[in-house]
Amino acid sequence: MRITAREVRYRYRGTTALAGVDLHVHGGVFGLLGPNGAGKTTLLRLITGLLRPRGGPLLVGGHDMGTIGGRRAVRRLVGYLPEDPGLYAHLTVRKNLDHAALLKGDPHARSRNRRAGQVMDRLDLTAHARTRAGELSVGGRQRAGLAQALIGGPPLLVLDEPTSALDPVHRHRFRELLRDLARDTTVVLSTHVLDDVARVCDRVGLLDAGTVAFTGTAAQLARAAPDGQDLEQGYAALLGHAPAPDQNSRPEP
């Protein structure tokens, strides 16, 4: 699924969140980077149809997100994991997933049960099927939220900082899962974890103060660094911050 944004703007009361975003996502895994308050979450909310864009057009899968019909159509095509996974703490993981499958339009209990089982297998959640969501660790909740987004096999997956609370093992598995999904799913991944970007993302967009400061590959982003290799320093350089000196590479006195 392609996403095309041109001069997309959005304002909250008195605050400009997006000041004219131009973006083109062809498919695969697209990493969305940027400092806090850059407008990443707002852009994700526009892509998922939660908010109506100003300016534009913003086309998601060919649907105009400026129209009610476009937003409604995209809601049937998207799996969304916001920062708060939105699980009901008093329900078990399986019941939460069953509920998500129901809200995604599956009225048949048996089919929902099967789907829930599939995504739990995929995300190592089967052992926690009967655990209440409120009793899960933060990382467990994040995986359950991801399972909720994946249920129904949406062709577009929008993930807002999905790995921030994962341990290294689950982060590694998550990356493998994303690479696997990217074969037939477009993934938009907002993250601060540059390691994820380097390993998973086909293309990267860097948002700064509501505009796109850079789009390209992770390697191209790294080339913006003084040494032309370090992704973190390239990120800082593009945002106009002096890269911090590398403590480990400081010469011995």
Partner 1 sequence: MEHLDDEAVTRAGTHEGRAALPEAARAHLDTCVLCEQRVLGTERLASVLREEEPDPAVPSFDTFIAPHLTPERAPEPAPAPAPEPEPVPVPAPRVTAGRAAHLALAVTWRQVRLVPPVLSSAVVAGFAVLALALALVPSRPAEPYVEAVTVGLVTIAGVVACDPRRDPRREAFHAMLVPPLAVWFARLVLVLGAVLVLAVAVSALAGAVPGGRPFPELVGSWLPPSLLGAALTVFGTVWRSPAVGLVLGGVSWAMALAVFRWNTATGVFGAVAAPLWADLTASVTVAALVFAGAAWLVTRPGRSVG
Residues in contact with partner 1 by CB under 8 A are: 1-2, 4, 6, 22, 24, 45, 48-51, 57, 59, 61-63, 72-82, 84-86, 88-90, 99-100, 102-105, 107, 109, 145, 148-149, 155, 158
State the burial class of residue 206 (Cβ atoms within 10 Å of its Cβ: 0-12, 13-18, 19+).
buried
Q: Which is nearer to partner 1, 103 or 169 (CB)?
A: 103
Compute the distance between CA of residue 138 and CA of residue 83 in angstroms, rounded to an integer.
Answer: 11
Q: Quote the least distance from Cβ 73 to partner 1, whole Å.
A: 4
Q: Which is nearer to partner 1, 62 or 216 (CB)?
A: 62
Q: Which helix (H) or strand (E) holds 91?
A: none
Q: Which is nearer to partner 1, 55 or 243 (CB)?
A: 55
The string of DSSP letters for 153-219 reads --SEEEEESTTTT--HHHHHHHHHHHHHHTTT-EEEEE-S-HHHHHHH-SEEEEEETTEEEEEE-HH
Q: Which is nearer to partner 1, 11 or 90 (CB)?
A: 90
Q: Quote the least distance from Cβ 26 to partner 1, whole Å.
A: 8
Say how many C-beta atoms besides its own lie within 10 A of residue 176's C-beta.
Answer: 12
Residue 83 structure tokens: 């920062």
Q: Quote the least distance from Cβ 226 to partner 1, whole Å.
A: 23
Q: Quote the least distance from Cβ 194 to partner 1, whole Å.
A: 25
Q: Which is nearer to partner 1, 139 or 155 (CB)?
A: 155
Q: Quote the least distance from Cβ 92 to partner 1, whole Å.
A: 12
CA angle 49, 55, 61 (to 5 degrees): 40
